[in-house]
A and B are shown apart, each in its own frame.
Chain A
Amino acid sequence: MATATLGTGGPTLQASERQMVLPTNLLTGIVLAAVGYYVGVQIGNGFGFNDGLNTGVLLGYTFGSVMFLVGVGFANYPLARLFGWPIAPQSAGDEYRGAWRFLNLSLDHKVIGIQYLVAMLMAMFFGGIGAMLIRTNLLSPDQLVVPPDKYLVLVSMHSVMMIFVASAAIVGPFGNFFVPYMIGTNRMAFPRLEALSFWLVPPAIVILLAAPLFGGFPTGWTGYAPLSEQAGQGFDSYIVGFALIGTALCVSGVNMLTTVISLRAPGMTWTRLPIFVWGVFSASILGTFAAPILASAVIMQGFDRSMNTSFFISSNGGSPYLWENLFWFFGHPEVYIFILPAFGIVMELIPHFARKPLWGYRTAVVGLLGVTLLSWFVWQHHLFVSGIAPALRPFYMFSTEMISIPTGIVFLVAFGTLWRAKISMTVPMLFCLGFLFNFLIGGLSGVFLSDVPSDVTLHGSYFSMAHFHFTIVGGEIFAIVAAIYYWFPKMTGRMLNMTLGKIHFWWMMIAFNLAFMPLFAAGILDMPRRVSTYAPSLQGLNDWVSFWAYLLFASMLLFAVNVIWSWFFNPKVAPADPWHVRSIEWTLPTPLPRRNFERIPTFTSGPYDYGNPSPRPAADLGSEPAPA
């Protein structure tokens, strides 16, 4: 079994200090979570609000999550500051050895990155199971897996789980792990906030997985009122799950923004930042400022369901449009939170594997920031058919079409870099090229949906389903897989098997396209989404889609086998710089030492300075230590 590759660990806590700090670990977290859940349910049931409104589960989830965090150790620092106890040093978590280090609170951004990676992959697996159940159910217009009133439970589970994954799958593992390296610092601005953003994810996943125990919820990931208020106890999972994930997004964003703004090493000016950091930065802007709106909206839902207020009930002075506006004001930036880091990855990897500087770096940066800006005022295109004043629709059509310009800039930059380059077709590069193909289709289909006349017919059909699966799966998931193949040697000290990788790429690419491309046709043929039955004439199409979807899932299982075998069963250590690229993390040894840089480097050139006959090193690692 591969040993932990993140160095030998830091200095251990002194014995006297250990006594003063509350003894907390994952097990105490789980125990306290159960206690918190029980207490919450008791309090909620005792409230005695209107009959039929069970506040118990809602409070149970909330208390359970909070007590989980307390049990894992997040209360130690605030209480220590308050009562004057010694505080665990920044190397907290290092005293654990081996796998145990990854199961406990650690303030090392590298450990948090790996924790995130595993959590995201596991959540993606659960979401994928949901997808398989959905596609099995759709093998026939009759119900095969679940009765029709339970189909939406499946859809909701799959979609919400995948939304959780997509929100953090790049910034969480790779942003947290590599941004400090790329900007030349030994620390994140707020390691405890960073750890908090991770530890909010397991409770969210568990709470979501618990929803079927209470009957699930039928609203899909959009949670529209009044269905959400009529839904059973399962919808409480939605409320608390999104509240936790929203908090994680906001907190992670505050940490990431402060880090990139304040902790860049000398010479790391904004124009020398690797474009991956820009992708993470712009997504963090959206995450920090959009997530609080989601939090407000789900709190309003919570009040409506437990205290009989009426934010979203029109017979009582509320309005479902309030939910729609609030949700989509968050929801549209949310999808750009998905894709901006993916753009960052693709634009980062292409220059390295094309051995050419990134073409149009400043244009790419302005493109990312342009998407960030524009994503705030397009949200009404999600409401074209549900009650927006008709006079306003042309304006949002215009602004939505405008957002394809900065998105197109990303393609321009990618192709400009690939033009006349010596491309090395490594597995990460293959996935980047796959991204470009898939996202082109996904993005273009979005232009159709942005047009009011066509959206009126296509809204709520499989066309929009195909659009967002091409952009999120064909786009973001492909980018995540590329990032895993690329950075796996540095994160874990092992190379993934590249032969399996190439098989994985072609298998996944073909299966994905053959599975999702026909869904555009299904949409045009009026197959509505979120409905468990369909016209019998569409059976052949659906069977074709389901078949290829199973194969897509199988390709991800192959990937999982590759990951697990390479990580835990392959004894061969990866070289420090297997890709021979200029990015700074590859100049450091594998396994990475606990402390990123012995001396803070001075950056003397950009990371894409290929083709230069006498290049400067990207950074001078021998400079005097400067205060971060």
Chain B
Amino acid sequence: MPPGLGAVLSYWPFEPVVLVGVAIAAMLYAVGGVGRPRKHRDHWRSAAFWLGLLSILLALQSPIEILARQLFWMHMVQHLLLMVVAAPLLALASPWTRLWRALPLGFRRSVARPVFLHPGLAPLRWTYRQLAQPGVIWVLAAANLWLWHLPVLYDLTLRNHLVHHVEHGLFLGLGLAFWAHVFDQRPFRAPLGTLARASYVFFAMVQSWGLAAVLSFATGPFYAYALLPSRPGGISALTDQQLGGGMMWVPGAITYSIVFIALLFQWLAEEDSRAASITRGHAHGG
């Protein structure tokens, strides 16, 4: 091995689960797009998809993963990349039809037909409909966030790699489900109106501030990071935790704020068209 390469490689983790997952998603997406005429809108959707996959790699398959084992606030950056960068990007991309199309037609039919039509699977469909409601998803995503920050569970993820993967999977999965109610996932439409989506996003942001406040105002460290003999930069465990809380508080709110503001603009545009139609109706003697 050339000198130095070993040192560089020591900064890069090797996460086969992540690599395989991302590779499969990438291949399906690429294959699914073959032969279809591309509309203008698809370009930024593909860009969002690739950026989303890239951010997953950045979070889990980059030096951030190594540093996350030593620094709480880096670990927070990792989670934020999953929840407020990768998840909304993937939801924005709405890649499901393309991913699905990549699979063989016979396979698709043999899976889709029973899932949608078989009477024996009706309880499954019912459960899905209940779970997919916006309120339920909101609560599940919020509860998931708070639960994984309980010291007993958080420390478990630090010790057990499988549990850690489960944690990341839940952040990403519930994050996708959350953002699916904000960005319509073609061909479905999320049930909430624009103002309701804005409130949905707003209150999700506010509840994360609650957790951020707990982490920032705590007078002692909660997690196993405190057991490390030292941290990069020589900071104390408490400072590390406060930095992590601050990360969750401010940078963690950026995505929510941008989406919230965009939704406000959209709502105002809808009000404008409503105003115009009232004027038209009034002019015609309505």
Contacts and interface: CB of A to CB of B under 8 A. Distances in A.
A and B touch in the complex (CB under 8 A): yes
Interface of A: 266-267, 269-272, 362, 365-366, 369-370, 373, 377, 389-392, 394-396, 398-399, 602-606, 616, 620, 623
Nearest to B206: A376
Given A362-B265, A602-B278, A605-B279, 9 more contacts: A269-B272, A269-B278, A270-B271, A271-B271, A362-B269, A377-B250, A389-B239, A602-B282, A606-B275
A391 B282 CA distance: 59
Contacts of A396: 250
B261 A366 contact: yes
Contacts of B246: 391-392, 394-395
A30 to B, nearest CB: 45
A107 B265 CA distance: 37
B264 interface: yes
A266 B275 contact: no
A179 B282 CA distance: 23
Interface in B245-271: 245-247, 249-251, 253, 257, 260-261, 264-265, 267-269, 271
Contacts of A392: 216, 242, 245-246
Contact of B272 (A267, A271, A370, A603): A271
Contacts of B186: none
B249 A377 contact: yes
Contacts of A604: 278-279, 282-283
B278 A267 contact: yes
Interface of B: 202, 209, 216, 235, 239, 242-243, 245-247, 249-251, 253, 257, 260-261, 264-265, 267-269, 271-272, 274-275, 278-279, 282-283
A269 B264 CA distance: 14
Nearest to B267: A270
Contacts of B247: 395
Contacts of A620: 282
A198 to B, nearest CB: 32
A366 B239 contact: no
A370 B242 contact: no
Contacts of A603: 275
24 contacts: A267-B279, A269-B274, A271-B268, A271-B272, A271-B275, A362-B265, A365-B264, A366-B265, A366-B268, A370-B261, A373-B202, A377-B250, A389-B242, A390-B239, A391-B239, A391-B246, A392-B216, A394-B246, A395-B246, A399-B250, A604-B283, A606-B275, A620-B282, A623-B282
- The 9 A-B pairs at the shortest CB distance, nearest first, are namely A395-B246, A391-B242, A269-B275, A395-B250, A271-B271, A362-B268, A269-B271, A270-B271, A271-B272
Contacts of B209: 377
B157 to A, nearest CB: 23
Contact residues of A: prevailing secondary structure: helix
Contacts of B267: 270
Nearest to B195: A270
Most B-side CB within 10 Å, residue of A365, A395, A616: A395
A616 B271 contact: no
Contacts of B260: 373
Given A271-B271, A271-B275, A391 B264 contact: no
A267 B282 contact: yes
Nearest to B275: A269
Given A267-B279, A389-B216, A620-B282, A398 B271 contact: no
A358 to B, nearest CB: 13
A266 B278 contact: yes
Nearest to A406: B261
Contacts of A266: 278
B26 to A, nearest CB: 34
Most A-side CB within 10 Å, residue of B243, B247, B279: B279
Nearest to A393: B246
B263 to A, nearest CB: 10
A308 B224 CA distance: 41
A611 B253 CA distance: 41
Contacts of B257: 373
Nearest to A392: B246
A392 B213 CA distance: 11
A373 to B, nearest CB: 7
Nearest to A604: B279
Contacts of B235: 391
Given A269-B275, A391-B246, A392-B245, A369 B264 contact: yes
A392 B249 CA distance: 10
B245 to A, nearest CB: 7
A573 to B, nearest CB: 34
A606 B250 CA distance: 37
B279 to A, nearest CB: 5
A479 to B, nearest CB: 24
A267 B280 CA distance: 10
Nearest to A273: B271
B169 to A, nearest CB: 28
Contacts of A398: 250
Contact of B268 (A270, A370, A390, A623): A270
A365 B282 contact: no
Contacts of B279: 267, 604-605, 616
A619 B67 CA distance: 63
B268 A395 contact: no
Contacts of A399: 250
A272 B278 CA distance: 12
A606 B278 CA distance: 12
A196 to B, nearest CB: 29
B221 to A, nearest CB: 12
B275 A267 contact: yes
A602 B235 CA distance: 64
Most B-side CB within 10 Å, residue of A370, A392, A396, A616: A392
Nearest to B216: A392
Contacts of A377: 209, 249-250, 253
Nearest to B283: A604
Contacts of A391: 235, 239, 242-243, 246
Nearest to B219: A389
A399 B268 CA distance: 25
A395 B272 CA distance: 37
A272 B274 CA distance: 10
A623 B216 CA distance: 57
A250 to B, nearest CB: 20
B199 to A, nearest CB: 12
A271 B247 CA distance: 35
Nearest to B257: A373
Contacts of A605: 279
A366 B216 CA distance: 30
A601 B109 CA distance: 58
A75 to B, nearest CB: 38
Most A-side CB within 10 Å, residue of B246, B260, B261, B264: B246
Most A-side CB within 10 Å, residue of B202, B235, B267: B267
Contacts of A370: 261
A352 to B, nearest CB: 20
Contacts of B264: 365-366, 369
Nearest to B73: A391
A391 B272 CA distance: 45
B254 to A, nearest CB: 9
Contacts of A270: 267-268, 271
A67 B60 CA distance: 66
Nearest to A266: B278
Nearest to A602: B282
Contacts of B274: 269
A324 to B, nearest CB: 13
A389 B245 CA distance: 11
B12 to A, nearest CB: 28
A366 B235 CA distance: 40
A579 B264 CA distance: 33
Nearest to B248: A395
A373 B256 CA distance: 12
Contacts of A395: 246-247, 249-251
Contacts of A602: 278, 282
B259 to A, nearest CB: 12
